Structure 1
């Protein structure tokens, strides 16, 4: 990663945005441009929708392509929330400096070992996503109209800063739904699903469009390109086997789709951190289909709101709010291995009624799917009763937690009796997120092997690399999509104005 600051496009200034708004104001006639000259957004998750929203605000024509039958990507499944600091919703004072420090700590050895220009670029990416985090939350809450008033503390965070709805839909579905509804009413927006991009087109040094396949026909679109096509944690037989063969037998929360980073490599993009694949500690093991290769995620919010993890002997064994990689390692060291071709372990996720009530929409879904069951402590046995009572005493401040947990969410249980209600589910580590991808900078421009920006090409979301390093904090996936998706949209709009309308 050797970015050359003097050659890279900088973040759009307010003046540039104002010029675009003035030239395409609501009182002006719609832009007249050939239908093949539009900004092309690849991927309909939050990163792609954020980019498309910014573009259409500036009356720039957008065509959004997605290979899936329905839009939303993995973003629509996100259930723990979106990080932001500081915001008016937070119960405890926070700032972007503490968030920056937590993100650097989470990035681990990858960040610590970076030097020179690579180190500076990683610092700028983290600074951008943390500094712009409150703006992203306010954009979604105040402009898009998504309820993000409930705030929880997830693993690896020093403060409660992960926002979601107090009641109603999980955050991913709420955000994606609201953005899609608004875009579908916009005359500058077109969505094409079941459209798989197969090639990025380049003329000399500039990206000028894409080829894609739909209904067994190859089509060509011309224009600047924003890639927001996601990661490759579901590409177990392909990119996971290539970069991390030791993880190829793990189940995943992602559908089995190939990664798209190679399409960008073909036009000169450089990749980084490709071996850094996050194994989320808690994916549900459905008793009706325990060998399923694709699992439902047991959202980190379940632990953030007070849930605990138990071994088969009924004992706690880890601070449930440690970083994801730490909790995963603890499970794989201590939990019982399940039989079968998949690499799975068995741990129990336990919530009391207070934690469950704080996760109403999540719990209704998990109970309906049979992934969590409502039971009593008496049915779970004396060892679980003892562990839950010890934890309840810790929450009540009667003793310190030997495992180091200091935040307990909405656990309210103080006296554990055999007839006391409990909620339990079986969980195992699962492939969840890929930290690696194409190198990009804080303006969302994709960089080549020399650190130069590739004209006409931007990227945002999980397709990129260099931001998270060794581990991603819960709640930062939706955040990076909103922050860098909007940056990419603004930058692509300015590029379109200069290179397409002016000519």
Structure 2
């Protein structure tokens, strides 16, 4: 090969390499330039849990285009995992005389605890909106969306059975999410983008005008009014959770690791409330195959509501129908069984009566290896004695020493060594964050002067002020539907008025 040819080959190789580098640099820089996705008149919903899907449903029903942005690869958020149900009172499905449940508001105020005195009028207004809208929320899901919510249970902290779920095998959270999502996908007005992270809320003067977000390394911009339904910060262990509740360091969580998004809203003037109020759910499963995994699978509260009892070293120690906070406090007042993660070991025990009314849950837990079917004698003499006493109280033969009055569908009366029971080990885990951005009863995000930020609404766990110190089981899905509907309607009115 001649010297001239070698020089040419080297030259062209260097030229190709240089061109490739320039092209890669250009493409990289282009990915950082915001791409204008759409300039048409539409609304933006951030988060695809039940709050976001409900808001989107309201907007589409009004004939308005919606862009729904979800940071996970699949839609549904934490809502799709919810298994106990949605509260509603009064409804046609509740036991007793028609529309006899009048205490939902009082139960919720009581559950909120001492913080009810802080911003009292504002908090009670939100609670009033939540509870007074609950009948319509259940009716909307049943009558308009065709979702079965015919089974009703009483959960801890409630004075009446009012937590609705379906009679089939599909958990209520998944049933609601999948139904709403299917309906939305049938509309040409609905646009869903997953694996897309909102990085900035855009503002022009005092009005919110859209979002900047990233998908697959490409930065995009959407303009329009926004409904934020991005969830809480229970999985942000090293970020917001560590900032507001450092005492919960080391606790397992039922949430996947993900950053809280409230700071996106505070950057445009939103205010925060109750950020230190974090709900630790008393019953999450210890997986025998992976005990030290910090992400736990929730043991649905319906298991206790339908009659389950809790044993520590074979003995009962609490009225299982107390609020989540009180049950958690009773568990954690003794030393933890492990430090990393911080875990306790408590047995959750069910009988065949509970199984018959919550079989879809229990079969799944047994299949996952989180619960097992066994006998009373296998739990030990102390535990068998405790179950015997509990069974007598459930039958009305004695007054329960812990004050429990509602025993769900527990039916075991004569406890024998071979009596069938279902048991799983549980521990408290970070579950829900009661704090978030302050909203009005119209789902408007409020600024430091308690004035609505124009073009911005929020619903679901990203908000604060409703639940106070403790959220009642079944009220998270209700909150999503009630305020998701309101936010969707308000955004629609705003969009139509532009």
User: Could you tell me the TM-score, scaled by structure 1's length?
Assistant: 0.90
Matches within 5 A, 1:273-422: 273-312=274-313, 314-334=314-334, 337-422=336-421
CA contact (8 A) 2:285 2:297 kept: yes
Distance 1:195 1:96, change over 3 A: farther
CA distance in 2, matches of 1:143, 1:37: 27
- Decide which of 88, 93, 106 is 1:101's aligned counterpart: 106
Distance 1:214 1:36, change over 3 A: farther
Deviations 1:291-344 (A, max 9, x none): 1110000010000000000001x111100010100000000124x622241111
How many angstroms does 1:36 deviate by?
4.5
In the alignment, structure 1 residue 64 sits paired with structure 2 residue 68: yes
In the alignment, structure 1 residue 229 sits paired with structure 2 residue 234: no
Matches within 5 A, 1:31-46: 35-46=39-50
How many angstroms does 1:37 deviate by?
3.2
CA distance in 2, matches of 1:263, 1:396: 54
In the other structure, the counterpart of 1:76 is 80
How many angstroms does 1:97 deviate by?
4.2
CA distance in 1, matches of 2:344, 2:38: 55
How many angstroms does 1:174 deviate by?
0.6
Distance 1:458 1:95, change over 3 A: farther
Alignment root-mean-square deviation, CA: 1.2
CA distance in 2, matches of 1:36, 1:384: 65
Deviations 1:436-479 (A, max 9, x none): 00000100000001100000000000000000011100000000
In the other structure, the counterpart of 1:131 is 132
In the other structure, the counterpart of 2:455 is 456
Deviations 1:338-386 (A, max 9, x none): 2241111110000001101111111111011000001111211111111
CA contact (8 A) 2:250 2:339 kept: no
Distance 1:36 1:236, change over 3 A: farther
CA distance in 2, matches of 1:340, 1:36: 54
How many angstroms does 1:96 deviate by?
6.6
Unaligned runs of 5+ in 1: 1-32
Deviations 1:234-260 (A, max 9, x none): 101100100000002100000110000
Determine helix, strand or coil for the equivalent of 2:68.
strand
CA distance in 2, matches of 1:338, 1:174: 36
How many angstroms does 1:130 deviate by?
0.2
In the other structure, the counterpart of 2:27 is none
CA contact (8 A) 1:96 1:131 kept: no
Deviations 1:248-274 (A, max 9, x none): 210000011000000000000000000
CA distance in 1, matches of 2:331, 2:48: 34
CA contact (8 A) 1:167 1:360 kept: no
In the other structure, the counterpart of 1:251 is 252
Matches within 5 A, 1:455-494: 455-494=454-493
Matches within 5 A, 1:145-164: 145-164=146-165
Matches within 5 A, 1:115-264: 118-264=119-265
Unaligned runs of 5+ in 2: 1-36
CA distance in 2, matches of 1:264, 1:165: 36
CA distance in 2, matches of 1:459, 1:409: 36
Determine helix, strand or coil for the equivalent of 1:237.
coil
CA contact (8 A) 2:309 2:349 kept: yes
In the other structure, the counterpart of 2:6 is none
Larger radius of gyration: 2
Determine helix, strand or coil for the equivalent of 1:446.
strand
CA distance in 1, matches of 2:376, 2:389: 14
CA contact (8 A) 1:230 1:461 kept: yes
CA distance in 2, matches of 1:303, 1:353: 13
In the other structure, the counterpart of 1:26 is none
Question: How many corresponding residue pairs?
Answer: 461
How many angstroms does 1:396 deviate by?
0.6
Deviations 1:5-57 (A, max 9, x none): xxxxxxxxxxxxxxxxxxxxxxxxxxxx9645310000000000000000000
User: Could you tell me the TM-score, scaled by structure 2's length?
Assistant: 0.91
CA contact (8 A) 1:269 1:446 kept: yes
CA contact (8 A) 1:36 1:221 kept: no
CA distance in 1, matches of 2:183, 2:213: 25
